[in-house]
Structure 1
Amino acid sequence: MGDPAALIMPSTIPLDDAKVAAELTQYLPDLWKAIIDTDIDGAGSTSERVDRGSALYGKRFTARRLARTVFMGATPSVMSGHKGVEKKRIFLGTALPGDVPGNFHSALDQLASGSTYLYSEGPSYWYDTHPNISKTARDFADSLPIADVWAEVHERLAKNRRANTYFAGVVTAPTGPPDVADTEDTRLVIVGPEHKHLKGRDDSPAMEFARRLLTDRAGGMRQFQNSLVFLAADSRRTEDLEKATRNFLAWRHVLRQSAAMQLSGQQEQQAKTRMGEADSVVTSRLVEAYDFVIHPVQEPGAPFTLDAVEVRSGEDLLVRAGKKLHDSGDLSTQWNARAIHRDLTGVLGKAWAEQGHITLGVLWALHAQYPYLRRLRNRDVLVEGLDSVFQNTSWEFEGFAFADSYDGERYDGLVLPTDSAGAPAYVDGLLIVEPKRAIAQREAELADLMPNVDPVRPDTDQNRRGDSGSGGEIRRADAPKAAPTRYFGTVELDPVAYQRSFNDAAAEVLAHLARVPGVDLRVTVEIEATTPAGFDDVVRRIVSENGATLRFTNNSFEEE
């Protein structure tokens, strides 16, 4: 069969050789020679320009070999009902030892967009004798103002405006500080491609734009600097994104103007196909271009600086940006009591130690304001972290207590994680209290509630029992007094805030009685309700059924 290396591949046939071209085109209409010179082979052809524009293609003549293969494989089918040769067969007819097949895809795309006579439909490609509409599209693409190109990119970025696991909100392609509200929840700002970032440059357009947004807001200075992070395009890839977007806009224009341009059915189908292909390329280039997450970092007492990290995985812009920050510890969607205590005794230690407490509202504002504190997705993350203290058995050393208010001497509504009353209402005014102060107050309150021991009394006749004249049994005043063995208490609950009143009673009284070893604790609730108008049938039915379900011993309505 001969030496396999001597086999001639379609891609190796030198169509730029006059004798070879003449031999092949003698069976074809004369205009094919001009088509070969224009698009397929030789100096100045489309394939030669594509190779010349890329070191990857040029050193192996990749585009030229692909064009030759398409011509050799598809030309016999031009007059048939099934034109073209499929992409996989084109690659098989082109590949030589040392080729990188991945380069074939992009080279063929560039041939299709730059050729005058090359057509494509689905996976098939062919050269035809009728000029395609690529030149019209190319001319339109070249004439587009850059602002129109980036406007299309902005519109595509806007499709990512949705809250997700990592960010409470997304801002796309803002023009300046007025477009970005100064709020506390963490948002991702997707910077427009006109503000691109160059790796290693602290003064790139993207970095300068991020600084401006972090410093200014509409009407003044920005307060919540730790609530913004940025996703920026890599300057090395924005050129490809621009070219792909221009190509898409050009083919969309051709398709929209198909009637005015009096396109044939084949040309209209070509425009539709090419626009779809260009649309996919723009989507791909967009993901590839947005490769840097920029966020502020800070040491306590120092101004913030910006850090830019590359993102190299994931198809979803928002998810991959959030995951990168989350994995590096620069964004948290969960928080815990130990971490909060670490901050309160660390970077916030001076203020917490002096006051003994900090409000929830202030703590959340500090997280949103200063990058030296952990960046949290939103306020709910901090609240969940605070609430986790109720599962922390060592809260005295790495936790905190809560209170409603402080009058300078005493905390009102004090709640310890060990209290059975449960968590407080997580309002901005809630005090997060230092454990030592909370425990000291609770111990003082317990001391006030303990019964006093009677002092030693003198021996008097009042301390004697029995008949005074018969030498009955005498109990001396200095004998130990027996401790009381029964407690009974009644409290009237606030009829409006009955749940809070009951919780207070449970925390301040029931909790301490329940801790006594061997105690037999019984708690009953007595409910009395009267109304001059009387209770209607619906209320009577619901209350009676629910009371029976809850095993009320007395559960009835009556007339006074």
Structure 2
Amino acid sequence: PLIMPGNLPLYDGDVRNELLNYLPAGWDPVLERDIDGDRSEPWAIEGGDARLGKVHAARRVARTIFLGSAPSPNEQTARGLPLDRVLLGAGVPGGSLGAYKDALRRMAESLHHLNTANDRYWYDTRPNLRREMESRKQRFDAVHDILPVVKDKLQAAIGNAYGLFTGTHVFTPSSDIMDDGQLRLVVLHPQHGHVSTGPSKALDEAQQILRLRGEQPRLYQNRLIFLAADQNTVERLYDQVRTMLAWKSIVTDYKDTRIVLDNLMARNADESFAQSRDALKRTVVDCFKYLLVPSQVLRGDDRPGDVQWEAHRLSSTAPSMIQEIERQLKENEHLIFEWAPVHLERILRKLFWKDEVDEVKAMDVWQAMLRYLYFPRLRNEDVFTRCLTKGGESEEFFGFAYEKTEQGYKGFALGTTAPILD
């Protein structure tokens, strides 16, 4: 009679020992763990699904792949068995093949010594690289291993931001974020993620940094912009970092001869490492996508109301993260690159020229704009200076003088000026 590969009783000690006589050392634990017997993974898969257990689908598939791939695997021109051969050896005449396909899929996801590539399947005494990778992922600690990688990748994604921000602070304590009137981007720690609805840890942390530098009140509050992670994406980001680090460790161990891989496995490890690095770059950009911008509105008595926050979602398909940040700030008028004198005059009349006060130092106005969230946020001092110059030259808004004396304004000029901030 014809004995199909799927019928071979590899759980039987005599049959197993007879086959092992023809194989190199190392196959006994593979048989026990990944192929047949009541302590094997295929047995457990069948035990968890009555549909598979009824026809012994997982064990029949495992026996077939073992018989077709175990002998001299390194000498095979095409490694392993194609799917149709696996089904031919495992299936029962007249029965449905769906259970065997399902069993094979589950086995490929969980067995340590079952390998697959190009729709072919084979066993090897060396562990499956993907199973090895999944096992190594558990080595990496969030604080010591994952966060440094996230920080490096995020800094690389932001790139050179100095054309827009004087400083970029990634996961920086509030005490180390300078309070000097320069425009700064503060990237919040992933544990302070943002959600579009409901309480936001990001807003709580941003509010704290905005209010204090360490334990001291922060003066220049109108110079901080915040970037936060999507709270729902942080775990996916951490998992992607673990995947990249695991593949990296496998490639490193192979190059340092701490593990042995054949040419195909080594090539697969290199490709998987490269793919995981590329995927991590995309995941970082997709995760850190909320731009948080503070502002205030003056009430009827000209006193500032509560701090208000606007959250803008960055596009992950933008040419660069910093360009997308700049676009969002411009389009939503959170950062002013050119300022018309008419807007400055309106602010002067409302907040400075009142109660019989009809002059103000230009530097005092600029300092107020750096500090208070109810003022427009200008990109830098040059924007303010250009506005002063245009306003003075127009003869419609304001004039300039070097100082005020008892005799009047010294060096008063209207219609032509080169303003000096002092």
TM-score, normalised to structure 1, is 0.53
Deviations 1:384-413 (A, max 9, x none): 222222564xx42xx211221112541112
Alignment of 1:22-101 (within 5 A): 22=6, 44=45, 79-80=76-77
Equivalent-residue separation in structure 1 for 2:108 and 2:272 (angstroms): 9
1:173 — aligned with what? 171
Equivalent-residue separation in structure 2 for 1:332 and 1:167 (angstroms): 13
Equivalent-residue separation in structure 2 for 1:248 and 1:186 (angstroms): 34
Equivalent-residue separation in structure 1 for 2:390 and 2:159 (angstroms): 32
1:240 — aligned with what? 236
1:402 — aligned with what? 400
Equivalent-residue separation in structure 2 for 1:324 and 1:388 (angstroms): 27
Residues 254/412 of structure 1: CA separation in 2 closer, same or farther (3 Å cut)? same
Aligned to 1:171, the other structure's residue is in SS state strand
Equivalent-residue separation in structure 1 for 2:107 and 2:381 (angstroms): 53
**Over aligned residues, Cα RMSD in angstroms?**
4.1
The structural deviation recorded for 1:360 is 2.5
Deviations 1:473-523 (A, max 9, x none): xxxxxxxxxxxxxxxxxxxxxxxxxxxxxxxxxxxxxxxxxxxxxxxxxxx
1:182 — aligned with what? 179
Equivalent-residue separation in structure 1 for 2:266 and 2:379 (angstroms): 49
Aligned to 2:240, the other structure's residue is in SS state helix
Contact 1:290 1:317 in 2 (8 A): no
1:311 — aligned with what? 314
**1:214 maps onto 2:207 in alignment:** no
**What letter corresponds to residue 292 of structure 2 in structure 1?**
I
The structural deviation recorded for 1:125 is 6.6
Residues 238/111 of structure 1: CA separation in 2 closer, same or farther (3 Å cut)? farther
The structural deviation recorded for 1:153 is 0.4
Identical-residue share of aligned pairs (%): 21
Residues 114/182 of structure 1: CA separation in 2 closer, same or farther (3 Å cut)? farther
The gaps in structure 1 that reach 5 residues or longer are 1-18, 24-28, 49-70, 86-109, 430-560
Equivalent-residue separation in structure 2 for 1:413 and 1:113 (angstroms): 82
The structural deviation recorded for 1:239 is 1.5
Contact 1:157 1:190 in 2 (8 A): no
Aligned to 2:233, the other structure's residue is in SS state helix
Aligned to 2:309, the other structure's residue is in SS state strand
Residues 384/235 of structure 1: CA separation in 2 closer, same or farther (3 Å cut)? same
Equivalent-residue separation in structure 2 for 1:230 and 1:151 (angstroms): 20
Equivalent-residue separation in structure 1 for 2:406 and 2:251 (angstroms): 76
**What letter corresponds to residue 228 of structure 2 in structure 1?**
A
The gaps in structure 2 that reach 5 residues or longer are 8-22, 50-64, 70-74, 83-105
The structural deviation recorded for 1:132 is 2.6
**What letter corresponds to residue 328 of structure 1 in structure 2?**
N
2:297 — aligned with what? 299
2:369 — aligned with what? 367
Residues 410/278 of structure 1: CA separation in 2 closer, same or farther (3 Å cut)? same
1:285 — aligned with what? 283
1:252 — aligned with what? 248
1:274 — aligned with what? 272
Equivalent-residue separation in structure 1 for 2:381 and 2:35 (angstroms): 66
Residues 325/81 of structure 1: CA separation in 2 closer, same or farther (3 Å cut)? same
Equivalent-residue separation in structure 1 for 2:363 and 2:42 (angstroms): 72
The structural deviation recorded for 1:182 is 0.5
Aligned to 1:401, the other structure's residue is in SS state coil
**What letter corresponds to residue 136 of structure 2 in structure 1?**
F
Equivalent-residue separation in structure 2 for 1:189 and 1:84 (angstroms): 54
2:333 — aligned with what? 329
Aligned to 1:338, the other structure's residue is in SS state helix
Q: Which has the larger displacement, 403-412 or 230-239?
A: 403-412
Aligned to 1:286, the other structure's residue is in SS state helix
2:379 — aligned with what? 377
Equivalent-residue separation in structure 2 for 1:407 and 1:362 (angstroms): 19
User: RCO greater where, 1 or 2, for CA within 8 Å and sep 6 or more?
Assistant: 2
Aligned to 2:337, the other structure's residue is in SS state coil
Deviations 1:312-350 (A, max 9, x none): 35252222122112211111122221221122123x244
Equivalent-residue separation in structure 2 for 1:220 and 1:292 (angstroms): 27
Residues 411/241 of structure 1: CA separation in 2 closer, same or farther (3 Å cut)? same
The structural deviation recorded for 1:21 is 8.6
Residues 43/342 of structure 1: CA separation in 2 closer, same or farther (3 Å cut)? farther
1:230 — aligned with what? 226
Alignment of 1:79-228 (within 5 A): 79-80=76-77, 116=112, 117-118=114-115, 126-130=120-124, 131-147=127-143, 148-159=145-156, 160=158, 162-174=160-172, 176-201=173-198, 203-218=199-214, 220-228=216-224
Equivalent-residue separation in structure 1 for 2:259 and 2:141 (angstroms): 26
**1:428 maps onto 2:421 in alignment:** yes
Aligned to 1:355, the other structure's residue is in SS state coil
Aligned to 2:260, the other structure's residue is in SS state coil
Deviations 1:238-260 (A, max 9, x none): 11111111101111122222225
Residues 112/256 of structure 1: CA separation in 2 closer, same or farther (3 Å cut)? farther
Contact 1:161 1:170 in 2 (8 A): no
1:55 — aligned with what? none
Equivalent-residue separation in structure 2 for 1:251 and 1:264 (angstroms): 13
Please say which structure displays the higher CA radius of gyration: 1
TM-score, normalised to structure 2, is 0.69
